[in-house]
Amino acid sequence: MKVTRIAHSDRLNPGKYAALAEQARRLGQVRSAVWQRHGSVAGAGLTDRQVRDRWLADGTHQRFQVLANAWEETVRDAMTNIAANRAAAKVAVREAIRRHTSDPAEQKRLFTLLRADRWAEDRYLARQMRKHRKRGKNHTHDQIVVRADQHNTRADKHGRLWLAIPSLHLRRLVKIPLNTTVAPTGTLRLVLRDGRVEIHYQIDPAAMPTSQRPCGTSTVGVDKGYTEALTDSDGVHHGTGLGALLTAESDRIKERNRRRATLRSIANSAATRGNFAKSERIRRHNLGTAKRDRQAAKHRARVRTEIFTAVHAVVDKASTVVAEDLTKTFAGRKPLGKDMNRRLAGWTKGVTAEALKNVSERRGSVLVHVNAAYTSQVCSGCGAFGDRSGDRLHCTVCGVVWQADVNAAINVLQRHGDPDTTLHTPYRAVKQILQARANRHRTRLPVQDSSQAPAGRRANYPNRSVTSGK
Ligand SMILES: [Zn+2]
């Protein structure tokens, strides 16, 4: 399975951007022409090569004033879109056929015609195809598709990457400065947006360097934190820069919102006074969203890197990672509301879940989800409920003061193979089990049967949710 990666350009100089936009506009006309001529129901059955040959024969291509490689690649792309559009319609028509007739022979006849793109021969099929086909029309006027052998990437002496692609003129290249250190490869789709270029391309994740790095050999429990991305059951913190990143971003957003509120009130009062030019100017230049969205994207990318790096560090030593299922949301929990810190932290939970799953799959470790109820509240040494104060957990029974997140990670690890507390044991039942165990521990009652064996002896109980990678 290939995955799409997107590289971004830095801001281009306006002349360069205008030239690319003009190229994309002309290629948009190519797309429209393909849809117009070959996107209809009747236009089925041609390959992109046949379309190209027809255009070359009748001179259609000349009116677009773009280079041969550019329009040919665009024809191919548009024909792929048309084929996808047709395939989607066929799915709907197959459903319709099943409702239309229950006679197996008639169904088979219609399915066969449909599969062979010969629906025009049957009036019912032709009508259904017209009905389920979204009206074919091109809406894309901001993209340039560049074939793999038509572009190259070079680093300048400052280490900055420049992507060179063909312009509207033969042998003249447009050089685009990238804000990434990884050169895009294969067929590129350039999307023009707000003075910048997004470069979409596909990679094979199995060929990525990280998938070659083997996982470790031990079993490690992890606790998701806020100042650190993860704390493991060996007491090591990973992704220690996360808290600072989130706080800085939250402060920045609050300050920005404050300034925007001021500007908005200035704009409003200007409008009340009748100075619409000023009000409009402020709205246009100071209250736009392009810069805001860009900064948000940059922040998200930094946080993702921090979290993925943390997960890789855990998988470096673990063949089995035991964690709370972070994709689950607790019912009855207060909504995250306006508090920016909590909103950002809520989002990082999803990223951590994604990182744990993806990295495990790529590097061959096993991700085990366990029930994490009360793991941050009980002492991992004796099982008693402790007193939490700040980032410490004090056990009044055995007297240990734990670092709360380390204690939680150890508890998570011990839930792996705990026969009483399975992934779906309700919250209240978990509490009862924990209290019963703590009482037994305190009164030193002899252990009665195997189900009361201390948690943490890892045995092969079938009560875990396991995600394993191939
Ligand atoms: Zn204790």
Task: Average the pLDDT over each of 20-34, 167-181, 384-398 and give the range with the smallest value.
Answer: 167-181
Residue 377 CA to ligand 1 center (angstroms) comes to 11
Select from 448, 440, 230 the least CA-distant residue to 326: 230
Phi-psi map region of 239: left, alpha, beta (phi>0 left; psi -120 to 50 alpha): left
Instruction: Select the more confidently predicted residue: 77 or 136.
Output: 77
pLDDT at 67 over 50: yes
Task: Average the pLDDT over each of 185-199, 225-239, 341-355 and give the range with the smallest value.
Answer: 341-355
3-class state of residue 8 by DSSP: strand
Name residue 173's beta-bridge partners: 166
Q: What pLDDT, on a 0 to 100 scale, did the predictor assign at position 194? A: 81
The bridge status of strand 188-193 relative to strand 196-203 is antiparallel
Residue 368 CA to ligand 1 center (angstroms) comes to 26
pLDDT at 151 over 70: yes
Select from 218, 226, 391 the least CA-distant residue to 310: 226
Residue 459 CA to ligand 1 center (angstroms) comes to 23
Most confident of 40-44, 205-209, 416-420: 416-420
β-sheet with 387-389: strand ranges across: 387-389, 392-394, 401-403
List helix spans (H) across 273-388: 276-285, 290-317, 340-363
Contacts 24+ apart (CB under 8 A), 134-137: 134/85, 134/88, 134/89, 136/35, 136/39, 136/40, 136/82, 136/85, 137/32, 137/35, 137/39
Q: What pLDDT, on a 0 to 100 scale, did the predictor assign at position 258? A: 93
Q: For residue range 157-180, what is the model confidence (pLDDT) as tens digits?
A: 877 789 999 999 988 999 998 876
Q: For residue range 354-381, what is the model confidence (pLDDT) as tens digits?
A: 899 888 878 888 888 889 999 999 999 9
Structural domain boundaries of the chain?
15-132, 143-207, 210-256+289-367, 371-468
Residue 438 CA to ligand 1 center (angstroms) comes to 9
Token pair for 333: 């929990």
pLDDT at 273 over 90: yes
% residues pLDDT > 90 (the chain)? 44
Most confident of 8-12, 148-152, 207-211: 148-152
Q: What pLDDT, on a 0 to 100 scale, did the predictor assign at position 30? A: 93
Q: What pLDDT, on a 0 to 100 scale, did the predictor assign at position 143? A: 93
Where does the pLDDT of residue 431 fall: very low under 50, low under 70, confident under 90, or very high at 90 and above?
very high
3-class state of residue 163 by DSSP: strand
pTM of the model: 0.56
User: What is the mean pLDDT of the segment spanning 108-115?
Assistant: 92
Sign of CA dihedral 298, 304, 307, 311: negative
Token pair for 31: 């797309």
How far apart are alpha carbons 172 and 160 in whole angstroms? 21
The overall average pLDDT reported for the chain is 84
pLDDT at 234 over 50: yes
Q: What pLDDT, on a 0 to 100 scale, did the predictor assign at position 454? A: 43
Distances (CA, A) of 282 to 252, 253, 285, 288: 21, 19, 5, 9
Token pair for 281: 């100017």
Where does the pLDDT of residue 195 fall: very low under 50, low under 70, confident under 90, or very high at 90 and above?
confident
Where does the pLDDT of residue 446 fall: very low under 50, low under 70, confident under 90, or very high at 90 and above?
low
Residue 381 CA to ligand 1 center (angstroms) comes to 5
Distances (CA, A) of 21 to 14, 51, 88, 246, 406: 10, 25, 31, 36, 54
For residues 85 and 134, the answer to whether their CB atoms sit within 8 Å is yes
Q: What pLDDT, on a 0 to 100 scale, did the predictor assign at position 239? A: 95
Q: What pLDDT, on a 0 to 100 scale, did the predictor assign at position 155? A: 85
Q: What pLDDT, on a 0 to 100 scale, did the predictor assign at position 462? A: 35
Residue 433 CA to ligand 1 center (angstroms) comes to 16
Where does the pLDDT of residue 44 fall: very low under 50, low under 70, confident under 90, or very high at 90 and above?
low
Q: What pLDDT, on a 0 to 100 scale, did the predictor assign at position 369? A: 86
Contacts 24+ apart (CB under 8 A), 88-91: 88/134, 89/129, 89/132, 89/133, 89/134, 90/114, 90/129
Q: What pLDDT, on a 0 to 100 scale, did the predictor assign at position 88? A: 81
Q: What pLDDT, on a 0 to 100 scale, did the predictor assign at position 140? A: 86
β-sheet with 152-155: strand ranges across: 152-155, 161-166, 173-177
pLDDT at 274 over 70: yes
Residue 450 CA to ligand 1 center (angstroms) comes to 22
Where does the pLDDT of residue 48 fall: very low under 50, low under 70, confident under 90, or very high at 90 and above?
confident
The bridge status of strand 230-232 relative to strand 152-155 is unpaired
CA atoms within 13 A on the CB side of 236: 13
Where does the pLDDT of residue 339 fall: very low under 50, low under 70, confident under 90, or very high at 90 and above?
low
Residue 383 CA to ligand 1 center (angstroms) comes to 6
- State the residue for tokens 């066969």: 112
How far apart are alpha carbons 107 and 124 in whole angstroms? 12
User: What is the mean pLDDT of the segment spanning 126-136?
Assistant: 79
Residue 380 CA to ligand 1 center (angstroms) comes to 7
Residue 241 CA to ligand 1 center (angstroms) comes to 31
How far apart are alpha carbons 321 and 334 in whole angstroms? 29
Residue 238 CA to ligand 1 center (angstroms) comes to 25
- State the residue for tokens 């390959």: 47
Where does the pLDDT of residue 43 fall: very low under 50, low under 70, confident under 90, or very high at 90 and above?
low
How far apart are alpha carbons 32 and 68 in whole angstroms? 17
pLDDT at 453 over 50: no
Q: What pLDDT, on a 0 to 100 scale, did the predictor assign at position 161? A: 85
Residue 385 CA to ligand 1 center (angstroms) comes to 8
Residue 425 CA to ligand 1 center (angstroms) comes to 23
How far apart are alpha carbons 150 and 148 in whole angstroms? 6
Q: What pLDDT, on a 0 to 100 scale, did the predictor assign at position 464? A: 38
How far apart are alpha carbons 324 and 120 in whole angstroms? 56
How far apart are alpha carbons 419 and 344 in whole angstroms? 35
Q: Which amino acid, residue 93?
A: V
Instruction: For the chain, give percent helix, strand, coil, nearest 5.
Output: 50, 15, 35
Select from 413, 407, 409 the least CA-distant residue to 219: 413
Residue 61 CA to ligand 1 center (angstroms) comes to 79
Q: What pLDDT, on a 0 to 100 scale, did the predictor assign at position 329? A: 55
Token pair for 23: 């190229």
Distances (CA, A) of 424 to 25, 39, 356: 55, 51, 20
User: What is the mean pLDDT of the segment spanning 199-222?
Assistant: 80
How far apart are alpha carbons 223 and 330 in whole angstroms? 16
